[in-house]
Amino acid sequence: MSTLGISKSSEAIITQYLQKKGSAEHVIKGGVQYLLESWKNTVTQELENKDYIWEEYLNDLDSRELLAEIVKIVDMGTAKLITTNFANLDKLFIEKTEASKCVWGENNKIRNNWDPKVNWWYFRIPKMLAQL
């Protein structure tokens, strides 16, 4: 079991999914734990960092998207373990950001079928950027 309590069978499903998605090797190796730590770092540190690079922000949102996708492919118990770990981070992310149009642009929004109610992280920008 992982440090989150995810079973080996769920970890195998997640690893296979990340490989299929073409995720970077460090993401595949780190799995959900890496994605959660990345999201935590984004929310607790990077959103207020004046040197935060836009491309990094987009990449961090993609990590959050992977978490949402993973929750859909694992058993309910594993999904609950994962969502419990990012629920408070999501609330903090919303507090530190403002609603916007899709940050990846309209073409990506359409191609990926992103919805502001479902994939809401793609429709928010850090408040410090909104004030520029």
Q: Is 52 helix (H, G, I), strand (E, B) or coil?
A: coil
Alpha carbon distance, N-terminus to C-terminus of the chain: 45
Give the number of other CB atoms < 10 A from CB of residue 65.
Answer: 17
Identify the weakest region by mean pLDDT among 69-73, 121-125, 127-131. Answer: 127-131
In the chain, what are the domain boundaries?
A: 8-97
**Dist CA 8 CA 11 (whole Å):** 5
Report the pLDDT value the prediction gives residue 22, as an integer from 0 to 100.
96
Q: Is 97 helix (H, G, I), strand (E, B) or coil?
A: strand
Mean pLDDT of the chain: 92
Strand segments, DSSP code E, in the chain are 97-99, 124-126
Contact, 113 vs 67, CB < 8 A? Answer: no
**What whole-number percentage of the chain has pLDDT above 90?**
81
**Dist CA 104 CA 26 (whole Å):** 23
CA 107, chain centre distance (Å): 20
Mean per-residue pLDDT for 83-102?
95
CA 78, chain centre distance (Å): 16
Mean per-residue pLDDT for 89-117?
96
Report the pLDDT value the prediction gives residue 2, as an integer from 0 to 100.
60
Summarize pLDDT for 35-76 with one digit per residue, the tens: 999 999 999 988 877 777 888 999 999 999 999 999 999 999
